[in-house]
Amino acid sequence: MTRAPSVFARTFTTPLILIAILLAISVAVHLFGSGALQRTVVEMLMRVVLVVGMWIFIGNSGIISFGHVGFMCLGAYAAAWFTIPPMLKQISLRGLPEILLTNQFPFWPSALAAALLAAGFALVIGPILMRLAGIAASIATFAMLAMINTIYSNWSSVTGGTSSVIGIPIRTSLWVALGFAAAAILIAYVYAISRSGLALRAARDEPIAAEASGVNIARERLIAFVLSAFVCGASGVLYAHFLGIITPDAFFLTATFISLSMLVVGGMYSLSGAVVGVVVISSIIQMLRTLERGVAVGDMTVSLPNGSQQIAIGVVMILILLFRPAGIMGNRELRLRLNRGTGGRKSAEAPRA
Amino acid sequence: MSLLSVENLVVRYGQLTALRGVSLSVEEGETLFVTGPNGAGKSTLLKAIAGVVAPAEGTIRLGGAEITGNTPETTARLGFSMVPEGRQVFAELTIEENLWLGAGMRGNRAEALRDLEHLYEVFPMLQERRHAPAGLLSGGQQQMLVIARALMTAPRLVAIDEPSLGLAPLIIDQVYQLLLRLRSERGLTLLIVEQSSTRALMTGGRMALLRSGRIVLEGACDALDGEALERAYFGYDAPQEAAPR
Amino acid sequence: MTATLQILFDALSLGSLYALGALGIALIFGVMRLVNFAHGDYIAFSVFLLLWPTTEAVSILFLGVLPAPLLILAVIAIGAVLSVVSELVVFRRLRDANPATMMIASFALGFVLKHILLMFYSSRPKSVSILPDLARQVEVFGARIPLLQVVTILATIVILIALTAFLKRTRFGLEMRAAAQDFTMARMLGVKANRVILIAFAISGALAGAIGLVLVVQSGTTDINMGLSVMLIAFIATVIGGLGSLYGAVIAGFLIGGASVLMQVVLPIEARPFRDAFVYALVIAVLIWRPQGLFAPRSARQRV
């Protein structure tokens, strides 16, 4: 006879499993991986933060938002404004307010402020968007992304326009990225099991019944929207401090496509899906990159033709969706079933309720 | 050979089993009512026959040919016409366009036109507004439109899901009156899902009572015992089922 | 007066492109509830086959050497075939999937198409001269208007009339309209799902080819991303027009084209680079005022 899992097991195993996976990858690459591979893992961890942030809104509300990379943009540029040395700012970003032009703030407070800025923007524009539903909401988020991109590409005095903003201090190491990723997963999970998250998912599945049960759909959506903007903004901060250089085009269509694909291919409705999607697709991309460079087989080097890497990743994603339309994880979370006396066994089961 | 035969039909929606081994048959020219409480699986039964949902187990045959798991258009083209729950008129199309849509699979255009004229005779209120959008009709008129539309396909069997849903009693009377007139004029075979077993008993024919995915009672309408019907409908005799895992 | 006329033609021709694009998206969305993000890449693809595949900066005409009527036919046919093939290979199996999956699949398809073009043609825009006669200007009521604009507007009108006739008067058209309103019910009346969807994809692809042709004549270059800006607006126009309403999509396309041109004229010079941002803000405003779109069909409202 199996006993029901303990409250602890029921409540917290999912984020712990996900963080453990990321930790294992990080430790392995730190010990055995080349510098290039480590950078790739850092990129993957940054994506985890972004996609988990997107999941907070998209997965729980069911509304596909094309706009979240816009929050990444806001966070990245804010981080740049706070941390670039004043001398550089005075040359290229003269439109900034005085306090920014003459100061350079340390990493952690600046990161927090930048993420809060993104969240603040979501708080302002959110109430407008959250009254819409379904495709109308999706297109509205798309319009928001396009708006952010247009403004940032043209407001040269403050954002440098389409030319790169340089001089951002490099601070995103493997462990910083892992820390952000773990924090993002925890925030997302705590939100998901909170009353607000539950209410939003109820509204996602049965809006009329939810409203009849007293759920204020617009408000719950707004909460998710603002929280997800915070996390996506944080991913922008990571990105800025990783490359040291940012341009508005890094936060537009390609980034949106890739991150949404990772989310949907992993499984849009579950947090595990978000993380698994990023890990799986990042791994496949890395594999294809290696293959394109050439792999030694006996005496020969086998390699894919140049440019086929992107074609392959597109084809792989289509194939995954053809065979698992609900994504790799379906709607399920990774859970640990802890039976006293028989050890732990990892399983994927449908979430209760 | 029955016109329609269903054997051991099992239909699942994910982990929920809606039909647990349903068997029934409809002879040519007869009217079978399927009644039962809400959630019994009546609509699911019709949808499975129509091909809208695919059964997990079981066989369905129309005129001897197997139609289990067919696409809806294939089953429709074999002579099965379904009027689903909630009327489902094409609101933006005109009445005449709605009707003409059903004629798409008929080979003989002249015959189809004659059929159309005849149906206009039976339903004069449809003819009056033949070029008006169907979305403007009242509930009762829409119900008559979808019945006429189903008949435009020259079907061998017509299945109707809850014809009385959302209609006032007087209107339901009118609908049934016209339906029965068509039945006698054309010798229709009917499979009607009707939540009101009273209406079924009034109309005559055979009745099968579906409850929790199983047929629990079956027989000719005039031969069924009222009390047995009541017990079966409300499940007074049903064994207590264990809660599903 | 002549300035107004020029602005009017600008607005109408830009609106025509957007309208045709929106129509292509709306046709497929109507029957399949799929927003096809690969549409912009159909546009580019159908035009690139006018050239020989080469990563050099020069352009060597391939199909581009055909005489004008054949050339037009070829581009439109390529668009239609590409669209149909993508339905057969990718979208058919995803018919019952949730909208997000279908969208991402179409994204991925567009991504693949773009990178195929990239591999064979490189990302450098190539200048090419197709139908150069259309680039000259004609005089209309005293104003000098590019012939291409006039042709675009006229062609759009002709296409719209032809499509309306097809939808209203033929059996296929009737089946498509019914399928767009209630796909399952249409199937229960014997409408063949696959046939209706293929026709929608074919028409949609043909429209993409037409758009590509206009773009390549207008700009004189082929560029991997050439379909992008038209398609972005087309998506938006489809939603503003009211999902499921073809008229709505077309009208919204014209409206956005008009608004875009108007903004260019009306905005003060400093604000002009931000014109697109204003257009997008306008889009959001329209969505708030009418979330279901300007011409949402009655069937779109959910009944409790």
Q: Chains B and C: how many Cβ contacts under 8 Å?
A: 72
In a domain, A208, yes or no: yes
Residue A164, chain C, CB below 8 Å: the answer is no
pLDDT at position A181: 95
pLDDT of residue B242: 53
Tokens of A207: 């809006």
d(CA B101, CA C61): 47
What whole-number distance in Å separates Cα of residue A230 and Cα of residue A49?
Answer: 10
- Number of domains observed in the structure of chain B: 1
Range of the domain at B160: 4-234
Cα separation of C23 and A13, whole Å?
Answer: 49
Does a structural domain hold residue B23? yes
pLDDT digits (tens, 9 = 90+) for C195-228: 999 999 999 999 999 999 989 888 888 888 888 8
Beta-bridge mates of residue B66: B61
Å between B245 CA and nearest CA of chain C: 27
- A72: closest CA among A80, A83, A63, A64? A80
Range of weakest confidence among A292-296, B124-128, C39-43: A292-296
Considering only CB atoms, C171 lies closest to which of B77, B81, B104, namely B104
C188–B84 CB contact, under 8 Å: yes
Looking at residue A1, its pLDDT comes to 44
Q: What is the pLDDT of residue C69?
A: 82
- Quick check: is A276 in a domain? no
CB pair distance less than 8 Å for A314 and C115? yes
Judge whether A157 and A93 are in contact, CB under 8 Å.
yes
Which residues make beta-bridge pairs with A335?
A: A347
Question: In whole angstroms, what separates CA A50 from the centre of its chain?
Answer: 1
Q: Which of A135, A318, A327 faces C108 most closely, judged by CB atoms?
A: A318
Please report residues of B whose CB lies closer than 8 A to that of C190: 73, 76-77, 102, 104-105, 153
Any domain includes B169: yes
Per-residue pLDDT tens digits for C29-38: 888 888 899 9
Check CB contact of A208 with chain C, cutoff 8 Å: yes
pLDDT digits (tens, 9 = 90+) for B30-80: 899 998 888 888 999 999 999 999 999 999 999 889 999 899 999 999 999
Give me the domain span that covers residue C64.
2-300
Task: Identify the weakest region by mean pLDDT among C5-14, C169-178, C290-299.
Answer: C290-299
Amino acid found at A5: P
Is A322–C90 a contact, with Cβ atoms under 8 angstroms apart? yes
Mutate to test the interface with B, among C182, C189, C191 (most CBs of B within 10 A): C189
For residue A85, give its domain range.
9-249
CATH of the domain at B199: 3.40.50.300
Q: How confident is the model at residue C303 (pLDDT cuts 50, 70, 90)?
A: very low
C-alpha torsion C200→C115→C16→C272, nearest 10? 150
Provide φ and ψ at C61, rounded to 5°: -70, 135
B211 within a domain of the structure (yes/no): yes
CA angle B17, B21, B22 (to 5 degrees): 110
Mean pLDDT of B80-100: 90
Cβ separation of C115 and A307 shorter than 8 Å?
yes
**Closest chain C residue to A309, measured at CA:** C115
Distance from CA of B221 to the nearest CA of C (A): 29
Q: What is the pLDDT of residue A4?
A: 54
Shortest distance, CA B7 to any CA of chain C (angstroms): 22
Q: Subunits that touch chain A (at least 3 Cβ pairs < 8 angstroms)?
A: C
Q: How many domains in chain A?
A: 1
Measured CB to CB, residues of chain B less than 8 Å from chain C are 50, 52, 71-73, 76-77, 81-82, 84, 88, 90-93, 97, 100-102, 104-105, 135, 149-150, 153
Evaluate whether residue A212 is within a structural domain.
yes
Q: How many helices (H) and strands (E) does chain B have?
A: 9, 10
* Residues in chain A, pLDDT under 50: 1-2, 8, 339-353
Nearest to C94 among A128, A268, A325 (CB): A325
Query: Among partner residues C181, C190, C193, which is closest to B90 by beta-carbon distance?
Result: C181
**B31 SS3 class:** strand
In a domain, A37, yes or no: yes
Asked if C189's CB is within 8 angstroms of B77's CB, the reply is: no
Q: State how many domains chain C has.
A: 1
What residues 85-114 of chain A have any CB closer than 8 A to a CB of chain C? none
C66: closest CA of chain A, how far (Å): 30
Identify the contact set of chain C against chain A, taking CB-CB distances under 8 A.
35, 90, 93-94, 96-101, 103-105, 107-109, 111-112, 115-116, 118-119, 228, 232, 235-236, 239-240, 243, 273-274, 276-277, 280-281, 283-284, 287-288, 291-293, 304
Q: Which CATH number goes with the domain that contains C201?
A: 1.10.3470
**pLDDT value at position A298?**
65
Question: Rounded distance, CA A316 to CA C111, Å?
Answer: 12
**CB under 8 Å to A91, separation ≥6 — which residues?**
none
